[in-house]
Amino acid sequence: MIVNERVRETLEIDKILEKLARQCRSPLGVRHFSGLRPALSVQQLQTRQELLRVYCRMRDMEGELPWDNRVKPVLPLLEEAKASAFLTGEELVLVRNFLRLAMEVRGAVVERKERFPALEDLGRGLKDFSPELTSLAVLSDDGWLYDTASQKLAEIRKRLEHIRADIRRLGHALLNEPSLGSMLQERVLTLREGRYVLLVRHEYVNSFPGIALERSGSGNSVYMEPTALIPHNNRTGILGDEERKEERAILTRLTQDLLRRERAIVEAEEALGYADALFATAEYMRKHRWHVPEVVPSKRGHFHFCNAVHPLLGEGAVPINIHGGERFRILVITGPNTGGKTVALKTVGVLTFLAWCGLPISAAEGAVVGDIDRILTDIGDEQSIEQNLSTFSAHMTTVIGMLEEAGPNSLVLLDELGAGTDPHEGAALGIALLQELLDRGSLVIATTHHNPIKKFALSTPRVETASVEFDAATLSPTFRLFMGVPGRSNALYIAERLGMPSSVVQRARDVLAGGEASVEELIGELQEKQAYLERVQERIAADRREIAALREKFERKYAEVNEKRDAILAGADRRARKILSDAEESARSLLRELEHAAESSAQRVMQEKKQELDRMKRHIDAREERRLERQSVVGEKKTLEVGSTVQLLESKVVGVVEELERGQALVLAGGMRIRVPLKRLRLVQEQPGGSSPRVSVDVKVTPPSERVSGSLMIRGMTMDEAIPMVEHYLDQAYRYGYGTVSIIHGRGEGILRREVQDICKRLPYVEEQRLGGPGEGGYGVTIVTFRKKG
C-alpha cells in the first residue's frame, strides 16, 4: 500500500503511532514506529500479522524475549565514528550492551523457532556477534580498558605503578623530614596537573627546595614540586602519554572492527526495534482490546469494520459499523455538521492504514480488509494564502492529483464533496467525479450536504448511502452511523425550533421544489424506520447474548454431570476389578488346596471361572474405553490442527500437536514427542479474549540437552524395548528431583503394567507405586512416588 506524506498528515497517523510507541521499552521501538510504513504486498502484510500473532502466543505460553532497558540506538555512534575513526570507552560499552542483547534475543529465537516458526523472520536480522563481544570484553562497564587489552598497555601501566610507588615513598620521606615539616601548610602529597606536589606556606617559598607551580585558592600557600620528585614526575608524564596513545590505538582498533560489521549492526538494530515494537503492540492490545483484522486477498478494495472507533477519540467515543467494496463501490455519507461524518471518513482511513501495517485496529474482532493498494484523501480546508488559492481551487487541485493515481484497488476519501462553490455546479461536479471513480472501480467514501448527490447515491447501482443520526429533541448529533439510509436536511427544522417565525419557515418550505420536499419526507421516514430497526437489533443482540450465556451454563453443567458420572463409573470399575482380583486369587488358593481331588475336574472348573472373570474384565475395559472416547476430540466431534493444545486423557500431560496422520497425532509435551490416537486426546479450549492457554506439563526444568519429562509413554512397546527405558527413566527422574512421575503403559493384558510394578518394587528409591485414579489415566497409568533425598 502506498500512502504519501500529505495523506499521512491528514489522517494524523503519527499521533496514533505515538500512542503505541509509548508502550516501548527503549528508543529502538519508538524509532521503529516513527518509520513504520504499510506493507507493499498482501504476502508481506500476512507475514507481519503472523509474526504478531505468534509473538503474542509465545509470550503467553513461554514468557517474554530477553530485554535490557539500558539499550539505545548505536547507529548514530557509528556515523560519528566514520568521521573520527574512534569511539570512547563509554561509547563502546553502549555498543557492547546492544550486541549482547542482540545475541541473547537471537539465542531465544533459535531456541523457540521450532515451536514458533514465524519468529525466524525476526531472527534473520540478528547475526552472530561473538567475536565483537570477545574483543569488547577488555572494557569495564564504565568504559575503562583493562590491562589485558594489550601486552604493551600492561607493560606501560606496570612501569607507571613502579614509578608512582617510588614517588609515594620519596614523598612520605619528605613529609617526615624535620627541616621541611614546619614549611608545609598540609602534610599531604597532592596531584596537580599530573605532577605530585606539596602545599608550602607562602613565607617559605624561597627556602623550600623545589619549583613553585601555582598559588592555592586562599593565596596563603603555594603548590611546589620538590626537586627530588621532578625526575619521577617527568617519567610519569612521559609514560602517561604513552598509556593514552596505546589506549587510543586499542579503542581505534575496536571501533574499526565494529565499522566492518556496520551492515549487520544496522540489521540488528532494526530487528531489536521490531521486537520492542511487538512488545508495545501486544501490551496495547491487552490494555485496549484492539484486534488484528483478517486479510482477504481475493476481496480487492474491500473493508468491513464493526464497533470501530477513531483511536484518537478515547474510550468514550460512539462506535460505528461501516463496510464497503462488496455490494457497492461508493458510500455517500450525509448528515448535519459536527455529526461525525468526517470522523467516520478518517476512521476508515486510519484503520485501513493500521491494518496494512500489520497492526491491530480499534474495532471488534472479525474485522476484514482486502487488497487496497493506496489511500487518497481530500479532507479539510486546503486553502493556501501563499499560493493565492481559494478553498474550492485547492480542493480541485487535490482531486485532480488523486485522479492521476486512483485505480480499482484505491481507497478514496472525499470530505464535503461539491462544497466551496455554487451549490448546483458543485453538486454536478461532485456527481461527475463519483461517476468517474465508479467507472474506474475505485472504493470511495464521500460526505456531502447536496441533495442531488444524495439522489445520485439512491438511484445509481453500486452506490450506497449512509447517514449520521440527529436527535431532534436535543438539536444535537448522536454520532451513530446508519448504513443504507441518506440523511435529511435539518436546517428548517432547527430554525423553527430555535424560534424562527413560522411564516418565514413556511415560505422557505414553499420555495423548495415539490420533488425535493417529498424526498426530504421520504428520508425522514427512512431514518425513523432505521432507528426503530436499530433498536430491535439491539434487543435481539441482547437476547442472543443471554441465550448464549444460558447455553454455556447448560453445557458446563452437562459436562460436570458427565464428569461426575464418569468418576462414579471409574470408581465402580476399580471396586469391581478388586472383587475380581480377590476372586481370582481365592480360586487359585482353592485349587492349591484340592491336591487330592480330581485335578482335571478342578482345572476345568478353574478355567471356566477364569474365562468368566476375563469376560467381566473386558467389559469393564470396554466401558472405560468408551468413557475416554466420549471425552476425546473424536467423541466431541472437534477438529484438531497443527498447533492445537491438547491433553492426554490417560494422564495430566498437556502438549502441542505437531503432526496429524491416519487418526493419530504427534504431540510435543515437555521434552518428549508422543504419538497418540485421536480418541485419547482432549482439545484444550482457548482462554477468553482469544489468547491461547499455557502448555502446562509436569516437567522439571533442566538443561535442554538433559531435559526429563514428568511422564513416560511405553504403550505399544515390546518388553525388550520398554523395560530398559523404564529403568533409565526412573533413575533420571529421581536424580533430577521429581517427587512423582507417571508411566503410561496402557491397559491391554496387563503385561507391561506388572513388569513396571516389579521394577518399582526392586528400586530402593521408590517409596510407592499405584495405579492412576480418575483423571490420571486409571489402570493404563502407574503413578510412581520417590523417597525424599537426604
| Residue 613 pLDDT level (bands cut at 50, 70, 90) | low
Query: Domain for residue 76, yes or no?
Result: yes
Residue percentage of the chain with pLDDT more than 70: 81
Looking at the structure, do residues 671 and 570 belong to the same domain, yes or no?
A: no
> 771 pLDDT exceeds 90?
no
> 398 pLDDT exceeds 80?
yes
CA separation for the pair 418, 424 (Å, rounded): 9
Looking at the structure, do residues 688 and 738 belong to the same domain, yes or no?
A: yes
Look at strands 781-786 and 740-744 and give their pairing. antiparallel
| Residue 38 pLDDT level (bands cut at 50, 70, 90) | very high
CATH number at residue 371: 3.40.50.300
Closest CA to 629 of 638, 616, 618: 638
67 in helix, strand or coil? coil
Looking at the structure, do residues 270 and 200 belong to the same domain, yes or no?
A: no
Looking at the structure, do residues 678 and 750 belong to the same domain, yes or no?
A: yes
The string of pLDDT tens digits covering residues 65-119 is: 999 988 999 999 999 998 888 899 999 999 999 999 999 999 999 999 888 999 9
- Average pLDDT of the chain is 82
Looking at the structure, do residues 605 and 621 belong to the same domain, yes or no?
A: yes
87 CB contacts (<8 Å, ≥6 apart)?
A: 77, 80, 81, 95, 251, 254, 255, 258
Closest CA to 613 of 579, 571, 589: 579
H or E stretch including 168?
Answer: helix 151-175
CATH number at residue 671: 3.30.1370.110
H or E stretch including 401?
Answer: helix 391-403
Q: For residue 489, what is the DSSP state? A: P
| Residue 706 pLDDT level (bands cut at 50, 70, 90) | very low
Query: Diameter of the chain by CA atoms?
Result: 136
Structural domain that includes position 13: 5-129+261-288
CA separation for the pair 196, 209 (Å, rounded): 14
Looking at the structure, do residues 749 and 672 belong to the same domain, yes or no?
A: yes
pLDDT of residue 180: 85
CATH number at residue 282: 1.10.1420
Query: Domain for residue 513, yes or no?
Result: no
Looking at the structure, do residues 271 and 123 belong to the same domain, yes or no?
A: yes
Cell of 299: 476481496
Residue of higher predicted confidence among 357 and 313? 357
pLDDT of residue 65: 93
Amino acid, single-letter form, for residue 521: E
Looking at the structure, do residues 224 and 183 belong to the same domain, yes or no?
A: yes
Looking at the structure, do residues 230 and 280 belong to the same domain, yes or no?
A: no
Looking at the structure, do residues 765 and 713 belong to the same domain, yes or no?
A: yes
Closest CA to 100 of 210, 222, 265, 244: 265
| Contact yes or no for 210/225 (Cβ under 8 A) | yes
